[in-house]
Amino acid sequence: MYKIALKMLFRDKMKFITLVAALAFSTMLITQQGSIFVGLLRLFSTPVRVTQVPVWVMDPATKLIDVPSPMPDMYITEVRSIDDVEWAEPFLVSRQRVRLKSGDMKYVQLQGVDAGSLVGLPQKVVAGNLFDINLPDAVVIDNNELDLLGNPKIGDTFEINDRRARVVAIVKMPRNAFSYPMIYTTYDRAKEYSPPERNLLSFILVQPNKGITDQELCDRIKKKTGLLALTHKQFYWKTISWYMENTGIPVNFGISVMLGIIVGAAIASQTFYTFTLENLRHLATLKAIGAKNSTLTKMLFVQSGVVGMLGYGIGLGITTVFGSTIPKFTVLAFYTPYQLLILAFLVVVGLCIFSSLFSIRRVVKVEPAIVFRG
């Protein structure tokens, strides 16, 4: 019976291609737009991802890493005094103005790290030496957006708020969402580069001792200092959640994905129903020779399943080609987690079931006697 169902499906090439194309379009739109959406959210959290520290301590008013609420330096000592803290280091994040040799003004994201441990500084070196960061006026820059800084080389200089800065190393790190060049220096020098304020400490990066979990240490820090302490994973999702709740990004991408689902459902259900009507006489013949309704229903599900898997595979292939080629020619946030593939698969299964329901109802009601009518 199933071979007969497949022969019926493949015989009508036009409707077969239309069904596959509709489901491939839905799959492609879901995975492509979903990958761009996830990739964009990952860009927002780049500073958190590259700073692989178990515990982040911050002022309770801080919402995300790019806009910290400064704290007094005394909290560094207070956090270090807590039991089971192996080390706690300062981390400064601020947006500063840079004057290039050409006279152009640019904005950068300045990050200050502890001069001894260099905790928070990316370790993948493209050029130079990270340990030279302790030299006078030394800064480390990331390899993205170098053109915005005039493509500086090791030893080149520029000014940060009218203070001299000299490039001693270039590090490799993921691109951030705002296309601001990332500049790293020591914590004390970062405070010199920043406009005078009473408080400049953005975060305290903490490593727990062995034998205590990150969450347990967070709870202990919160209780003893009143500060907000989050694990790396919690701060990562806190940053992403802020952008999802306070920007129109989810709505914009959600509309595109829903449009793909609606279009795919409409085309697939209509085409499949028409396909069933045109083959109704053949199905009635099978019913007349003893085929049960359950058997005919299974045949329809086999047909829709084959179409669904082909459409899913083709749509996923298009997304893969798109994601592996387009970013080579332009800046594109693109990341496909496995959960997105599962979601697309479930949507395709749902579309197949939906498109089959109307046809199944028609097949169940068909009378075998129509075979003998003119």
Write out pLDDT tens, residues 175-217: 777 678 889 999 999 999 988 888 899 999 999 999 899 999 9
Q: Average pLDDT of 155-178?
A: 88
**Nearest one of 115, 196, 178, 114 to 142, comparing CA atoms:** 178
Residue 39: per-residue pLDDT: 84
**Nearest one of 177, 161, 167 to 142, comparing CA atoms:** 167
- Evaluate if residue 281 carries a pLDDT over 80: no
- Evaluate if residue 271 carries a pLDDT over 70: yes
Winning range, highest mean pLDDT, from 41-55, 178-192, 237-251: 178-192
Q: How far apart are the first and last CA of the chain?
A: 26
Q: How far is CA 228 from the centre of its chain?
A: 25
Task: Report the C-alpha gap between 29 and 112 in whole angstroms.
Answer: 41
Indicate the residue type of 98.
Answer: V
Task: Report the C-alpha gap between 335 and 184 in whole angstroms.
Answer: 26
**Nearest one of 104, 110, 93 to 165, comparing CA atoms:** 110
Strand residues in the chain grouped as ranges (E): 55-58, 85-99, 105-113, 125-128, 138-142, 157-160, 163-171, 182-186, 203-208, 228-231
Task: Report the C-alpha gap between 21 and 152 in whole angstroms.
Answer: 49
Q: Which residue has the higher pLDDT, 274 or 367?
A: 274
CB 89 within 8 A of CB 117: yes
Residues ≥6 apart with Cβ < 8 Å to 119: 53, 87, 89, 91, 113, 205
* pLDDT above 90 coverage of the chain, percent: 32
Residue 188: per-residue pLDDT: 93
Q: Average pLDDT of 3-29?
A: 80
Q: At 168, is the pLDDT very low, low, confident or very high (cuts 50, 70, 90)?
A: very high
| Digit-coded pLDDT (tens) for 321-346 | 888 887 666 667 788 888 888 988 88
- Evaluate if residue 297 carries a pLDDT over 60: yes
Residues ≥6 apart with Cβ < 8 Å to 44: 64, 66, 176, 177, 239, 240, 243
Winning range, highest mean pLDDT, from 114-118, 276-280, 326-330: 114-118
| pTM given for the model | 0.78
Residue 207: per-residue pLDDT: 94
Residue 168 DSSP SS3? strand
Winning range, highest mean pLDDT, from 7-21, 182-196, 288-302: 182-196
